[in-house]
Chains A and B, each alone.
Chain A
Amino acid sequence: MSILTGTHASDGIGIGTTVVANTPELHREPTPVADIEAEKARLTAAIEAYTAAVLAQAEQLECSVGQAEADILRGHVLMIRDPYMHGDMLALIESGMCAEEATSRICEQFAATFEASDNDVIQARATDVRDVCAGVLAKLAGVDALGFSELPPDCVLVTHELTPSMVAGLNRENVVALVAETGSATSHAAILARALDIPTVLAVAEACAALPSGTLAVVNALEGTVTVDPDDATLAAARSQLDALRSEQEHLAHYAGLPTVTGDGARLLVTANIHNVAEARRACECDAEGVGLLRTEFLFMDARALPTEDQQYEAYTQVVKQMEGGPVTIRTLDIGGDKCLTYLDMAQEANPLLGLRGIRYCLQHEDVFRTQLRALLRAAAYGDVRITIPLVTCVDEIREVKSRLARYAEELEREGVAGIADVAANLQVGVMVETPAAALMASALADEADFFSIGTNDLTGYIMASDRANASVRSLYSAHNPAVLRAIHDVAAAGQNAGIAVEMCGEAAADPLLIPVWIAFGIDEFSVNSASILRTRKEIQAWTRSEAAELADAVMRLTTEREVREALVAARK
């Protein structure tokens, strides 16, 4: 038994027997061409056959998975039809080269150019060019590219480079996992593997040699490991983990499409934490009732220059439309601390977590903030949009944000944006409660804010003065600490007294041990990762409010983290 490691590209666990699929060496030795016109016609016919096959596959994929995934394959058709692909291949044939040699030459040339790019998205497209190349060479040889449609049952497919057409073409019901020696989570193949829900580990060095066809393997894509020839104990553990995953999924499926209610029928909300429209789509698939936290900094971190107002408007609007009327809480730019934008020339700070981050940065950089607030105001016309402000410590900050929003709404109205005054008047502006200062000032903040979002990750760190990334103090970083629970209790109470909604985002919102405590405190909305939505809904339904209140009362009398945890574990349903 040995364990290989790689990059997890699509979650899950697969147990099966390997099939190593090396792209067959289709390219023969260069052969002399007798009839140039006939050779050109042979290439053109192969490209036409390839195009027809890819478009048919795209059509199928669009029905089974979706348009975005199908468009990956349609992009391959655009590639081969490019004048500098097909056209230059024909020119090489004119000079006496055979069709196979011409195809390989041109494709390799583009693959090398893409690989040399300093943009990792373009780099990843080298795989797509090679995929196109292999597809055309197969048609020239008159063979079905790889015959992946007939993989045996319980197959772990192992390959050097996983391409989009391999993933799209395999028989899903027989393939339990995918392993490749190269690749990254941003590759088109990884996107397709996730869409098809196939456990996938990429960048596993020497995988083909270590996993020859017929090897028993356990692919744990949650951990990014592949166990070769697992012993009985490992195999049994993996099987029970897989069974647990499956039965949990089956069980949780009962909660899909149902409203979130406590055991005694109080209506709550489970929403999703996301950072882009692709995640919004996944949140909908996972039955989110809205978005509780749209982190906008990713839009800024993925770009090389500040996104313009129109780009931001477009990105926010896409998410709002995707959520089809469900509430969408958008957090304004939260950079600084550990999140830096290279193109903004941000100052190095001795203590960044206590430095210029969150709303502090935005208030000091009016141009950046103005662009975002204008984009948010415009996007708010498309649905139930709320804005939440990160790292608030003072009442002045929320007042200032509200006055700027009013000013920018007037600007937009003067510029002729229809109906913006109504949108601005109805726009809810909330405060992220994630600092001790905000927690202590909750009752004053509640008079200014339309809602609270309790950000438990930062709140726990700041209250416990503990960096979770620092192994020597990590044990202090826990939302089970009485200090954290007391702060959250008081914040929720302040929100309820003022009659505003109290939402919670951060990992503690999905902590099954703490969910009854949050119910008792009066949390209205739980914003969690998409994968935790149904589980959170189930946990909420397991508790009546009176049971939860009884547990919370007992827990609030405890004075150590360990006592709290033990009490919560003992009460776990």
Chain B
Amino acid sequence: MVTQAATLNHPHGFHMRPAGLFATKMASFESSVTLSAHGTNVDGKSLMQIMSCGFTCGTEITVTCEGTDEADALAAAVQTIEAAA
């Protein structure tokens, strides 16, 4: 299991488009991807769960990945969260 914190850098937060892009990208990994912020955990492969959280720009999100490709999944997740989409 690997974990890293990342700050969401999309100006309008994780709304439908960026959340959809993120979830689609994460779905290509075998590992599980969990996003945690403000005391809630959601599945990083689910657009609907990510949107439910209403993550806004500047939110620090802790990403946890577990599985055979966990290091790659974590790197991809952190990069996508921190990139200004």
Question: Which A positions have Cβ atoms within 8 angstroms of B?
Answer: 71-72, 75, 78-79, 82-85, 110, 113-114, 117-119, 121-122, 125, 128, 299, 302-305, 307-308, 310-311, 313-315
Q: Which residues of A contact B35 (CB under 8 A)?
A: none
Pick the contact of A121: B9, B12, B23, B46 (CB < 8 A).
B12
Pick the contact of A299: B11, B24, B43, B58 (CB < 8 A).
B11
Q: Which residues of B contact A304 (CB under 8 A)?
A: 13, 56-58
Q: Which residue of B lies closest to A119 (CB)?
A: B54
Indicate if the CB atoms of A78 and B9 lie closer than 8 Å: no
Q: How far is the CB of A340 from chain B (nearest CB, A)?
A: 18
Beyond A110-B52, A308-B9, 6 additional pairs, beta carbon < 8 A: A82-B47, A82-B48, A299-B11, A304-B57, A311-B11, A313-B84
Tell me, in angstroms, the Cα distance from A84 to B23 when the chains sit together: 12
Tell me, in angstroms, the Cα distance from A483 to B81 when the chains sit together: 53
Q: How far is the CB of A76 from chain B (nearest CB, A)?
A: 9
Q: Which residues of B contact A305 (CB under 8 A)?
A: 56-58
Classify the interface of chain A: helix, strand, loop or mixed: helix
Q: Which residue of B lies closest to A110 (CB)?
A: B48
Pick the contact of A114: B51, B57, B84 (CB < 8 A).
B51
Q: How far is the CB of A368 from chain B (nearest CB, A)?
A: 14
Indicate if the CB atoms of B51 and A311 lie closer than 8 Å: no
A and B contact pairs by CB, cutoff 8 A, 20 listed: A83-B46, A84-B48, A84-B49, A85-B48, A118-B54, A119-B13, A121-B12, A121-B15, A122-B52, A122-B54, A125-B15, A125-B51, A299-B11, A303-B11, A304-B58, A305-B58, A307-B11, A307-B57, A310-B84, A311-B57
Indicate if the CB atoms of A71 and B11 lie closer than 8 Å: no
Question: Which B positions have Cβ atoms within 8 angstroms of A?
Answer: 9-13, 15-17, 20, 23-24, 43, 45-49, 51-52, 54, 56-58, 84
Tell me, in angstroms, the Cα distance from A82 to B45 when the chains sit together: 8
Indicate if the CB atoms of A302 and B12 lie closer than 8 Å: yes
The answer to whether A125 and B16 touch (CB under 8 A), given A79-B48, A110-B52, is yes
Q: Which residues of A contact B16 (CB under 8 A)?
A: 72, 75, 78, 125, 128
Q: How far is the CB of A295 from chain B (nearest CB, A)?
A: 15
Pick the contact of A84: B15, B46, B57 (CB < 8 A).
B46
The answer to whether A122 and B15 touch (CB under 8 A), given A78-B20, A78-B24, is yes
Q: Which residue of B lies closest to A118 (CB)?
A: B54
The 9 closest A-B pairs by CB, nearest first: A305-B58, A119-B54, A78-B20, A122-B54, A117-B54, A304-B56, A75-B16, A82-B48, A310-B84
Q: Which residue of B lies closest to A87 (CB)?
A: B46
Pick the contact of A78: B10, B12, B23 (CB < 8 A).
B23
Q: Which residues of B contact A85 (CB under 8 A)?
A: 48
Indicate if the CB atoms of A78 and B47 lie closer than 8 Å: yes
Q: Which residue of B lies closest to A68 (CB)?
A: B17
Most buried by B among A71, A122, A315: A122
Tell me, in angstroms, the Cα distance from A313 to B84 when the chains sit together: 10
Most buried by B among A78, A117, A313: A78
Q: Which residue of B lies closest to A306 (CB)?
A: B58
Tell me, in angstroms, the Cα distance from A315 to B17 when the chains sit together: 16
Indicate if the CB atoms of B17 and A75 lie closer than 8 Å: yes
Q: How far is the CB of B53 from chain A (nearest CB, A)?
A: 9
Q: How far is the CB of A275 from chain B (nearest CB, A)?
A: 13
Q: Which residues of A contact B12 (CB under 8 A)?
A: 121, 302-303
Q: Which residues of A contact B17 (CB under 8 A)?
A: 71, 75
Pick the contact of A311: B9, B43, B46 (CB < 8 A).
B9
Pick the contact of B56: A71, A113, A119 (CB < 8 A).
A119
Q: Which residue of A lies closest to B10 (CB)?
A: A311
Q: Which residues of A contact B13 (CB under 8 A)?
A: 119, 121, 304
Q: Which residues of B contact A82 (CB under 8 A)?
A: 23, 46-49
Q: Which residues of B contact A71 (CB under 8 A)?
A: 17
Q: How far is the CB of A259 from chain B (nearest CB, A)?
A: 35
Tell me, in angstroms, the Cα distance from A307 to B43 when the chains sit together: 27
Q: Which residue of B lies closest to A121 (CB)?
A: B15
Indicate if the CB atoms of B11 and A114 lie closer than 8 Å: no
Tell me, in angstroms, the Cα distance from A535 to B78 when the chains sit together: 49
Indicate if the CB atoms of A314 and B23 lie closer than 8 Å: no
Q: Which residues of A contact B84 (CB under 8 A)?
A: 308, 310-311, 313-314
Q: How far is the CB of B40 from chain A (nearest CB, A)?
A: 11
Indicate if the CB atoms of A303 and B15 lie closer than 8 Å: no
Q: Which residues of A contact B46 (CB under 8 A)?
A: 82-84
Tell me, in angstroms, the Cα distance from A257 to B75 when the chains sit together: 48
Q: Which residue of A lies closest to B8 (CB)?
A: A305
Q: Which residue of B lies closest to A302 (CB)?
A: B12
Pick the contact of A83: B9, B15, B20, B43 (CB < 8 A).
B43
Tell me, in angstroms, the Cα distance from A82 to B16 when the chains sit together: 12
Q: How far is the CB of A314 from chain B (nearest CB, A)?
A: 5
Tell me, in angstroms, the Cα distance from A83 to B58 when the chains sit together: 27
Pick the contact of A113: B15, B24, B45, B52 (CB < 8 A).
B52
Q: Which residues of A contact B54 (CB under 8 A)?
A: 117-119, 122
Q: How far is the CB of A164 from chain B (nearest CB, A)?
A: 11
Tell me, in angstroms, the Cα distance from A15 to B30 when the chains sit together: 56
Q: How far is the CB of A458 from chain B (nearest CB, A)?
A: 27
Q: How far is the CB of B24 from chain A (nearest CB, A)?
A: 7
Q: How far is the CB of A299 from chain B (nearest CB, A)?
A: 7
Q: Which residues of A contact B24 (CB under 8 A)?
A: 78
Indicate if the CB atoms of B57 and A83 lie closer than 8 Å: no
Indicate if the CB atoms of A114 and B58 lie closer than 8 Å: no
Q: How far is the CB of A486 from chain B (nearest CB, A)?
A: 42
Q: Which residue of A lies closest to B14 (CB)?
A: A122
Q: How far is the CB of A151 from chain B (nearest CB, A)?
A: 28
Q: How far is the CB of B17 from chain A (nearest CB, A)?
A: 6
Q: How far is the CB of B65 from chain A (nearest CB, A)?
A: 16
